[in-house]
Structure 1
Amino acid sequence: MSDSPPSASPDADIIVVGAGLVGVTSALALARQGHRVMVLDTQEPGRGASYGNAGHLATEQVFPIADASILMSLPGMLMDPMGPLRLDWKYLPRALPWLTRLVLNLRPEPFGRSVAGIRALNERSLAAWQRLLASVDSSHLLKADGSLLVYEKPESHAKLEALESRMREQQVPVALWDRNAIQRAAPQLSDELLGGLFFPATGHVLDPWRVVTTLVEAARRQGVQFAQETVRSAQVVESGVRLVTDSRQLTASRVLLACGAHSAALTAQLTGKHVPLDTERGYHLMLPREHDRLPFAVTSLERRFIMTPMETGLRLAGTVEFAGLNAPPNMGRAWQLHRLSHGLFKTDLDAGDATPWMGFRPSLPDSLPIIDRVCDGRVLLAFGHHHLGLTQSAITAELIADLAGAADSGEGLSSTSDLPPLAPYRLSRFG
């Protein structure tokens, strides 16, 4: 920590770095507490991973991003550029330390901690989203109609039953559906599908971009300032924090880092800790001519991708690539999603005027985000939600607001709130 020179009053009480869903929802929550909040991002609010996510509130996904099968899959990840999980062989040397940590996390004890931490957030996430959207008169943007995982091959039935058992052990609401149940609920799906798992306590948003812009407008009405600037450096000072952007210097009493895959460098500057943050490069293909094909999000067990109905069409998503922040996108991976959809419907999907997209999802090797308050309360952290950023952003905002309120009062987390304990998400778990 260094002393800051005498200056005028801070530019904000709290500066939020990152204008994705986590940053915007947190900014709104903090402003509602009475804080003067400023949000900085290199891009227009919501234009990062929040713009292109699958739109699925994946509360059922309580298991880490990888299990022991990843070890057997590694050769295929390196060799198949169109596989559902791709590791660029040129990126392997940089990814190896992260992958090593991920493998170590597959041991029973740390794996169990990860499951418990994910579940604690997910089981509260849908209700948090319902509260948030109701507070901005936009409940209609969320459809809490469940989601479906389907399978096609007889040999997949045992795998599906095993997954159902694991879900029930974690108290995830789930129902086993046969092909007749699927046809009743989603008659445009192929009658060759053998069955699936229905998750009633999940949902989807009608348009992730519209959700972000709605929340940005609500935050602006609450007094939040948004600026499109890149933060070049950050420093804890006696009066709070000092940020240097590409155009000016800013001071605030506190900073919230919520810039997703770009959070590691600023975390190191502010806290001295180096977090093992890597990037899942996610792809989607938006089909604007496809409406009313599905009543809810549908995932294929064998093909490993998801299809989500939205106001603007049908979004196909789910392919993951590890290649870092700088490699150019391989949009062939997005178009591959359309080929994967062949045979899942009675008639193939129309890809006319389709648009591909790629974005960065921040991933930590234990599949848990960092949600914390450090540096004597001057630094708040909320990043690393990997493919659950949309799902967990509203409950994360409630946690951040509780952390900020606790700092203001000099107390700990509210004991009366239904918030999960923060221990699994602390920065200190990375030494």
Structure 2
Amino acid sequence: MLLDDLLRRVVKLGSLTLIDPKGRSYHYGEPANDSTVVVRLNGALTPWRIALNPKLAVGEAFMDGRLVLERGSIYDFLETVVRNLGPQGELPFQAAQRGWEKLMRWWHQFNPEAAASRRVRHHYDLDGRLYDLFLDTDKQYSCAYFPTPDTTLEQAQLAKKRHIAAKLRLKPGMKVLEIGCGWGGLALYLAETCGVEVLGITLSHEQHAIAKRRAEERGLADRVTFEICDYRKLAGQFDRIVSVGMFEHVGVPHYAAYFNGVHRLLKDDGVALIHSIGRSEGPGTTPSFIRKYIFPGGYIPALSEVMPTIERSGLWTTDIEILRLHYAETLKHWRMRFLAQWDKARTLYDERFCRMWEFYLAASEVTFRHWGHMVFQAQLTKQIGTLPITRDYMLEEEQRLAGIEKPARPFAKTA
């Protein structure tokens, strides 16, 4: 069996037992013990599919019930295998497949306006009650910031907003643009805590409706507005621009348009802060499972792909921070919350969807722990002297904001 040969060559750390469709058992890695992950495969073709295209077939087999965990979870199985594959995460025979994916990379990331809108709705216009099940009370769907190991998810998401606000160096009355505003939590925080006016734009009709409602309920509709708009169509200029978790949907073919747009929309003395997932191992491709089922058109960039475009746009990169394991911890919180709410998620969709979502969260967490994914925050200006020349002001501003923040208001759950 090809899969047996591959696993025998790969799995040296950890303990894994595989039961094939005929009931035969194979063991890999360290001797079997109470923590051994036990996987049963159903369907005669399942082992072949997984061996030939693991990045798609493992997730599909789990979704369809053809890969069943008899001991441990899908996270345990993925971590056992991924820890043994190294940072590139490739099996020896996959060089040709990897080459083909790189050839198709441009097409997979081609996101003209119509495609970008359709692809965003694929993920973000799901039933809003799904996100209520696992996100924090402010419905932040991006990497949180964990100052200490015992920080709760709610505290970490608040700390993320505070961390970003400090880097923007805001002053009351400034006009702020948020590209990709989600459900509005960051925009509302900036307006309420920092006294600024915010325009949040999104391509998700579901998120737009909820964000708009939240601003009205908080009495901030006069200072925070939300629009369905592509950043390429927006006019005007802003004192500050912030974008959190949106850049992953841009695609390499559109990086020039994105940063030229930031330059065009930013005032001469303005500051922009781009918060995005990144990959530390250099340019790559989006795993086929994620591309097919979760984020069509999405791509996690390497900084080596981003920085040349920033340089050509005429923007100064005044600060870059790499958040390494913060997203792994965020995803762990999301995964555990989702599993605790499984029955409710199943009433919204079905068992297959729930397994797909669990796989997405588990695979993402493993990727941040073992496959070189991280988050970067790039601070940009047009002029060299716009900001202080040391980073002390960031910490001072975070401390100040922590002292004036209003008590958190629970997010009004989707009806």
TM-score of the two chains, using structure 2 as the length reference: 0.29
Give the number of the structure whose residues are more often helix, by fraction: 2
User: More relative contact order in 1 or in 2 (CA 8 Å, sep 6+)?
Assistant: 1
